[in-house]
């Protein structure tokens, strides 16, 4: 094994540790590749800073300039499918979507070209997911999406539990589960023993009449070590009412890095939710809020969010309802003393009167049909 191969092997073995990457940058400098060395260092430095840090923006601009000038040469020895791939801390970060059963048939060498991948698994049958969870090739996944593309091929509570409990998901930073009937048990288990680098969790439309995501999930999240790490938590379209999220709102200061939150705002059985929210602390870093309600539900939760002081820090509010925003709820939001910081407000559907009320208050920041 050459010196370079040894350095690269260390990066592949420890993909979240910057030290092997920076050692490799030194090697690049010593071997007449100063631009690539600078690119690795700049991206590593940027990744350690918060999104809003002005110095990060400066570093990102420098990395983009280096990539524009040298990116084609850096990718010359990589597969053609990598040409449009982005970079993460100096190394290519390719995307791949594959049916779950086919993932198991791919040779291990297919995943050797990058330390981490953005992987989407479709048609996740129970048998295939159990095999994937036990497969060390899953260690190459930094971002993982498991999506239901068929009514008979989706995650179930047992297979979802095997997946989130596997040692082979320890390199995940982002996990998205979409359209799978997993219930609460795997999510509670994930909160109890999360992958060490996970900081983005999206769980959308992952319940049915049998396997419900019930009220055990939010309290488990509120006390999980994930609370201090998550930058994204989107659990919308699971028919989990706003009232169920009380433990998370009460624990808002623990979610110090949470930038984006998505949840259902149905208010069934929550007569005092407005009073509760008025007394809740803000999420320190929350800037993006997605409020969802399903068919057969109303947008009434918006009235209570309008009175929530934590709305003051939100810059993007997305009203993602399956039924139109009502005029009363639009007027309540338009009258909110906490909505002055919004830079973007979107809605899927609203009646004429509701749209007019939103337009009068929010003007140019409003986007909707």
Per-residue confidence in pLDDT tens, the chain, 369 aa: 689 999 999 999 999 999 999 999 999 999 999 999 999 999 999 999 987 788 999 999 999 999 999 998 998 888 888 888 999 999 999 999 999 989 999 887 888 889 999 999 998 888 889 999 999 999 999 999 998 755 566 778 888 899 999 999 999 999 999 887 888 899 999 999 999 999 999 998 876 645 567 889 999 999 999 999 999 999 998 888 888 999 999 999 999 999 999 999 887 656 688 889 999 999 999 999 999 998 778 888 899 999 999 999 999 999 998 889 999 999 999 999 999 999 999 999 998 999 999 999 999 899 875
**Domain endpoint, select from 47, 82, 117:** 82
Supply 93's token pair: 């970060």
**Do residues 234 and 204 make contact, with C-beta atoms less than 8 angstroms apart?**
yes
* 51 and 129 co-located in one domain: no
* 158 and 280 co-located in one domain: yes
* 249 and 351 co-located in one domain: yes
The CATH number covering residue 134 comes to 3.80.10.10
**Do residues 302 and 289 make contact, with C-beta atoms less than 8 angstroms apart?**
no
- Domain span at 64: 3-82
Q: What is the DSSP string of 225-254?
A: GGGGT-SEEE--SS---GGGGHHHHHTGGG
* 224 and 237 co-located in one domain: yes
Q: Is 271 left (phi over 0), alpha (psi -120 to 50) or beta?
A: alpha
**Do residues 239 and 265 make contact, with C-beta atoms less than 8 angstroms apart?**
no
What pLDDT, on a 0 to 100 scale, did the predictor assign at position 272? 81
What pLDDT, on a 0 to 100 scale, did the predictor assign at position 153? 63
* 35 and 140 co-located in one domain: no
**Domain endpoint, select from 36, 63, 82:** 82
Q: How far apart are CA 47 and CA 40, in angstroms?
A: 11
Q: How far apart are CA 348 and CA 369, in angstroms?
A: 6
Residue 264 CB contacts under 8 Å (≥ 6 apart), including other chains: 235, 236, 237, 238, 239, 240, 241, 242, 292, 293, 294, 297, 301
* 96 and 75 co-located in one domain: no
* 16 and 56 co-located in one domain: yes
* 139 and 238 co-located in one domain: yes
Q: How many domains does the chain have?
A: 2
* 233 and 148 co-located in one domain: yes
Beta bridge partners of 175: 144, 201
* 244 and 322 co-located in one domain: yes
Q: Which residue has the tokens 């433990």?
A: 247
Task: Look up the pTM and report it.
Answer: 0.94
**Domain endpoint, select from 82, 108, 125:** 82
pLDDT per residue as tens digits for the range 37-79: 999 999 999 999 987 788 999 999 999 999 999 998 998 888 8
Residues in the chain: 369
């Amino acid at each position: 094994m050459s010196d370079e191969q040894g350095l690269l092997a260390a990066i592949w073995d420890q993909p979240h540790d910057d030290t092997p990457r920076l050692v490799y940058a030194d090697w690049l400098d010593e071997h007449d590749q100063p631009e690539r060395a600078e690119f690795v260092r700049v991206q590593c430095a940027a990744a350690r800073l918060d999104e809003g840090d002005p110095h990060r923006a400066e570093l990102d601009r420098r990395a983009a300039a280096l990539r524009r000038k040298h990116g084609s040469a850096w990718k010359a020895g990589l597969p053609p499918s990598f040409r449009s791939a982005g970079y993460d801390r100096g190394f290519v970060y390719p995307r791949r979507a594959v049916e779950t059963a086919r993932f198991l048939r791919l040779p291990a060498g297919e995943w050797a070209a990058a330390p981490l991948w953005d992987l989407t698994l479709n048609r996740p049958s129970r048998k295939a997911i159990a095999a994937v969870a036990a497969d060390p090739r899953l260690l190459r996944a930094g971002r993982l999406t498991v999506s239901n593309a068929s009514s008979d091929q989706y995650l179930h509570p047992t297979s979802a539990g095997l997946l989130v409990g596997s040692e082979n998901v320890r390199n995940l930073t982002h996990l998205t589960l979409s359209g799978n009937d997993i219930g609460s048990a795997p999510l509670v288990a994930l909160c109890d023993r999360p992958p060490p680098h996970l900081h983005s969790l999206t769980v959308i439309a992952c319940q049915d009449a049998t396997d419900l995501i019930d009220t055990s999930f939010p309290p488990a999240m509120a006390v999980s070590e994930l609370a201090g790490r998550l930058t994204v938590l989107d659990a919308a379209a699971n028919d989990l009412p706003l009232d169920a999220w009380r433990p998370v709102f009460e624990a808002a200061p623990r979610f110090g890095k949470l930038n984006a939150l998505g949840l259902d705002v149905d208010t069934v059985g929550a007569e005092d939710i407005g009073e509760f929210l008025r007394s809740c602390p803000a999420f320190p870093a929350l800037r993006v809020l997605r409020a969802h309600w399903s068919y057969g539900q109303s947008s009434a939760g918006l009235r209570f969010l309008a009175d929530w002081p934590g709305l003051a820090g939100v810059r993007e509010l997305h009203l993602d309802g399956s039924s139109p925003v009502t005029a009363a709820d639009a007027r309540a939001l338009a009258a909110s003393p906490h909505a002055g910081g919004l830079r973007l407000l979107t809605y899927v559907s609203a009646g004429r009167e509701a749209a007019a009320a939103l337009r009068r208050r929010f003007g140019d920041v409003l986007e909707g049909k």
